[in-house]
Amino acid sequence: MDLSGFQPYRGYFYRVYANYSPPGEWRGTIDICKRGPDGTVEPLTSNQDALGVFSSEALARDAADAYARVLIDEEKFSDA
């Protein structure tokens, strides 16, 4: 798995992006993975929506960024 576009945080890597839904609604989306000791990359969550709907792409990305860090801090991937 290629980690380009991912940001490192506390031993994990995450990527956020925004998706435009119905008119005026933006949603933030998150991918989180971890690199194993042998160099393999394990996806922990993929295409997970951040909580909330936002009026701009920037707000959706900021919310997804904050939410990704909370998930990593709490190590909640399977039931997040």
Question: What confidence tens digit (pLDDT) does each residue in 16-68 have?
Answer: 999 998 778 999 999 999 998 898 999 999 999 998 999 999 999 999 999 99
Q: Which CATH number fits domain 7-74: 3.30.1380, 3.30.160, 3.40.1620, 3.40.390?
A: 3.30.160
What pLDDT, on the 0 to 100 scale, is given for residue 80? 42
Distance CA 47, CA 52 (A): 15
Predicted TM-score of the model (pTM): 0.85
Domain limits, the chain = 7-74
**Amino acid letter at 56?**
S
**3-state SS class at 11:** coil
3 state DSSP class of 20 = strand
